[in-house]
Amino acid sequence: MQTTTQAMSAGNGLTWEAVKSCFQQYVVPSYGRFDLCLTRGRGAWVWDVEGRQYLDLGAGIAVCSLGHAHPELAEALAEQARTLVHVSNLYYHPWQGRLAERLTHLIAPGKVFFANSGAEANEGLYKLARRFGHEEGRFEIITAVNSFHGRTLAGIAATGQDKVKKGFGPSVPGFRHVPFNDLQAVKEAISPATVAVLIEGVQGEGGITPATPDYLLGLRRLCDENRLLLMMDGVQCGYFRTGRFQSFQRILEGISDAEGFLPDAISMAKSLAGGMPMGAFWVRQPYADLLGPGSHATTFGGTPLACAAALKVLDIVERDHLADNARATGDWMKQQLEKLAARFPQWIKSVRGLGFMLGFELADKAEIPAFAAADKPASLQMVQRLHEAGVLTIPSGNQVVRLLPPLNLTQEEAALGIGRIGAVVEKLGC
C-alpha cells in the first residue's frame, strides 16, 4: 500500500480517507479536528480535498492577516529564501532590527524580543515580570478569569480557564485569577508578592469580551500606585484586528485622560507574519533592558525569513489601509449580526467585539431545536452547520462563534458571509 506522501508524489488523487488515516496513524491526537481537509487557498477562500470552496472567516485563528497565498507575500518569502533563511541570534542581521523599529513606532519607545508563537511571547512576559520583582521577592502575576495565555505549563497556569489545566498539575505557582473588567477584584488580589497584572484587551478564547475604558485606565493607576507592571496579551486582539494596531488604542479612542495610557509590555503573534510562525513582545522604557544577555533566548526567533514576511505584511497593511478596512467592514458586519440577533433573540443572545474580532453568543443548545438532541455544545454545532454552508468560523467556549477574518476581506465577501450565517440561523428552529 502506498503511503500518503507516495500517493501525492506519484500524482495520484489524494482522498479525504487517506489523509485522515495518515493522521490517525502518525499524528499525536491532541486536537479535536473538524472533518475537513483543506488543500489550497486564495485570499479569503480555501478549498478542501474534494474541491469544495469555503469563505474563511477564521483566518487560521486570526493568523492569515492577508488571507491565503497573497502573491506579494509569497514573492517576499521566495526572495528571502534565496537570500538568507536563518542565522542564529549570535549574530546581527538587518531584517530583525528593521522590524523591531517599525513595531516600536506603532506603540511607543521601547524594544522588541522575537519568538515563534504567542505562548512563547507570553513566557517572555512572565520572565520579564519575575526579573523586575526578583530583588524584592515579588513574582506573582494577576490574570483574569476566562483569559487564555497559551499551552505551555506557565501559559496554562496563567490562563483563567480550568479546562486547560486538567491533567497537568501541579500548576506552576505565581498566578492568581480574578474576574475580568473588575478593578476592585484586582485591587483586593494584590499581595506583597504581586509584581504584575496581565490581561487581554479583548478576551478571545474567553468569548470576545473587550476590556472597558475605565478598567484599562484604572489598572494603569493601580499598577503605578503599587509598582506593578501592566502587561497586555495582544496575541489575538492585536495587529490591527480591532482597527488600530493594539486593541487598547481602539478601546480608548476619544476617552478623556487616556492619551498617555501605555502598558509596560505587550505580547504579539498570530497575524504578525501573515502565516509564518512568529511571536514577539514589546517592552517600554525603562524596562526594555531588564532581560540582558543570557537571560532569555530562542534559536528560531526573529529569523531573516520570518522578519522579511512580517515586514512585507506591514508594508501591505499600511499601503492598502487595512486597519481602516478592519474597522469599517468589521463594524458593518457587527451591525448586521446585531440585526440578525434582533430577528432571532431566542437563538442569538448577544453580539460583541471590535473590527475584525467579532463573536455572537448562542443560546444554550437545549433552547435551540436544531441542536437540542446532540451532545456537542451549541458553538461547535453552529460552526459545523456553517461548514455545510461554505463558511469557516471559530468556536469560543460552549456558546460563542468567533469571526476573525483576514484584514483584507472585502465588503462583498463580508456581505456573502453574513448572508450565509443568516441563512443558517433561520433554520435553527427546524
The answer to whether the 34-57+322-426 and 72-319 domains have the same CATH topology is no
pLDDT at 11: 43
The secondary structure of residue 182, as a DSSP letter, is -
Distance set, CA 70 to CA 66, 75, 122, 245 (Å): 6, 9, 28, 21
Residue 177: name the closest of 146, 216, 201 by CA: 146
Rounded CA gap, 269 and 238, in Å?
8
End-to-end CA distance of the chain: 45
pTM for the whole thing? Answer: 0.95
Q: How many CB atoms lie within 10 A of CB 363?
A: 17
* Complete DSSP assignment for 1-22: ---HHHHHHTTPPP-HHHHHHH
pLDDT in tens, 260-301: 899 999 999 999 999 999 999 999 999 999 999 999 999 999
**Rounded (10°) angle between helices 304-319 and 94-105:** 40
Residue 321: name the closest of 414, 423, 384, 244 by CA: 244
Q: Which three cell numbers stand for residue 191?
A: 499581595
* Complete DSSP assignment for 339-364: HHHHH-TTTEEEEEEETTEEEEEEPP
Rounded CA gap, 151 and 149, in Å?
7
Task: Provide the CATH number for the domain formed by 34-57+322-426 in this structure.
Answer: 3.90.1150.10
Where do the domains of the chain lie?
A: 34-57+322-426, 72-319
Rounded CA gap, 281 and 277, in Å?
14
Rounded CA gap, 363 and 293, in Å?
52
The domain defined by 72-319 carries CATH number 3.40.640.10: yes
Distance set, CA 185 to CA 176, 203, 317 (Å): 11, 17, 38
The mean of the pLDDT values for the chain is 95
pLDDT at 2: 55
Distance set, CA 49 to CA 53, 275, 388 (Å): 10, 21, 15
Rounded CA gap, 61 and 46, in Å?
14
Q: How many CB atoms lie within 10 A of CB 151?
A: 14
pLDDT at 147: 96
Q: How many CB atoms lie within 10 A of CB 414?
A: 23
Sole residue written with cell 482597527: 243
What is the SS3 assignment for 56?
Answer: strand
**β-bridge mates for residue 357, sequence order:** 354
pLDDT at 430: 75
Q: What are the residue ranges in the chain where pLDDT is below 50?
A: 1, 9-11
Q: Which residues contact 180 (CB under 8 A, 6 or more apart)?
A: 144, 145, 146, 147, 160, 199, 203, 206, 209, 211
pLDDT at 42: 98
Task: Report strand pairing: 209-210 vs 194-200.
Answer: unpaired
pLDDT at 10: 40
Residue type, 347: W
Instruction: Tell me the helices (H) and strands (E) count for the chain, helix number first.
Output: 14, 17
